[in-house]
Amino acid sequence: MINDNSIALQISNLFKVYGNQKKALDDVSLCIPEGSFYALLGPNGAGKSSLINILSDTSTATKGQITFFGKNLFTDKMWCKRRLGIVPQEAAFDPFFKVKEILHITAGLYGQKLETKWLDELLSRLQLDEHADKNARQLSGGMRRRLLIAQALVHKPPFIVLDEPTAGVDAELRRQLWSFVQELNQQGSTILLTTHYLEEAQMLCNKVAILNQGKIICEQNMQDMINVFAQRELVLQFNKPILEPQLADFKIQSDQKTMRITLNTEMSFHAAYSQAVQHYGEPCQVDIQQENLEDIFLRVTQ
């Protein structure tokens, strides 16, 4: 286990086995640096919800250790909870309370009095200011999602877990929400994000781990993962069909006049291009394509 004051969350050898012997988490270890914007990705059933439930103390780990800003998450529960804000996937508030009342109650649960300035900023940034005096049952699905986010941020936690935060919200609110949480991250908040919108994860996050079948299959800086795992293709268009294409050092696919040459990180475009020209002449069009995070995710989880 890393012992470093700059580590916000350290998960070591974590297991979660349910009563039916289903192993939801299988020796999971993660290290989330303080101030990072960290993506935890995985297909449905990978174990993400089990991990978040353990962090939120709604589920118990079978085995393993978690330290949170140097404190033991399992024994220093109240200390940790006051510094942790979690946006869950499901609504967890009384539908008959008003939006403002819910936020004041939530702050009280953390032993804090809600500052008027911070309340006004939350309501404004999440576009809830016009609905502050409405009962939660009067809110649309997207507005309830915003209220969940406000609840998680009401006590200004230094560590924020966003569990599918933009599911069911429109594109404009999604853009505004990401702008808001990026500001929080720049101000020092550590953010753990789970999302199925992988282009968002690639845009926002500086570190990423992929969880599949309860195991961490890769964990790296975001750009390092793109550089290491992304397959690249050199796409060449010719004026005439390519007959029985073959290149000794490269994997290729061809469809009539189009040749696709797959390259790994150690192969150069120049070498592939030169060999193709030597065998088939000059192409009329050249294109370079590289996988994004979604392409990598689909390939490594399958």
Give me the mean pLDDT over the 26-39 stretch: 96
CA dist., res. 185 & res. 181, Å (int)? 6
User: Does the pLDDT of residue 265 top 80, yes or no?
Assistant: no
Torsions phi, psi for 208 (to 5 deg): -150, 145
* Residue 160 DSSP SS3: strand
pLDDT digits (tens, 9 = 90+) for 106-124: 999 888 889 899 999 999 9
Give me the mean pLDDT over the 292-297 stretch: 88
Give me the mean pLDDT over the 48-71 stretch: 95
* Residue 299 DSSP SS3: helix
Band of the pLDDT at 248, cuts 50, 70, 90?
Answer: low
Give me the mean pLDDT over the 39-52 stretch: 94
User: Which position has the token pair 């993506």?
Assistant: 39
Of the ranges 28-32, 107-111, 124-128, 225-229, which is most confident?
28-32
- What pLDDT does 35 receive? 96
Greater model confidence, 249 or 81:
81
Q: Inter-axis angle of helices 141-153 and 99-109, to 10 degrees?
A: 30
User: Does the pLDDT of residue 58 top 60, yes or no?
Assistant: yes
Give me the mean pLDDT over the 49-68 stretch: 95
Average pLDDT, the chain: 88
279: left (phi over 0), alpha (psi -120 to 50) or beta: alpha
Band of the pLDDT at 153, cuts 50, 70, 90?
Answer: very high
Residue 123: other Cβ atoms inside 10 A:
20
Task: Read off the amino acid at residue 180.
Answer: F
Query: What are the chain's domains?
Result: 7-227 (3.40.50.300), 231-301 (3.30.70)
Residue 52: other Cβ atoms inside 10 A:
21
Give me the mean pLDDT over the 72-100 stretch: 89
User: Does the pLDDT of residue 1 top 70, yes or no?
Assistant: no
- What pLDDT does 4 receive? 46
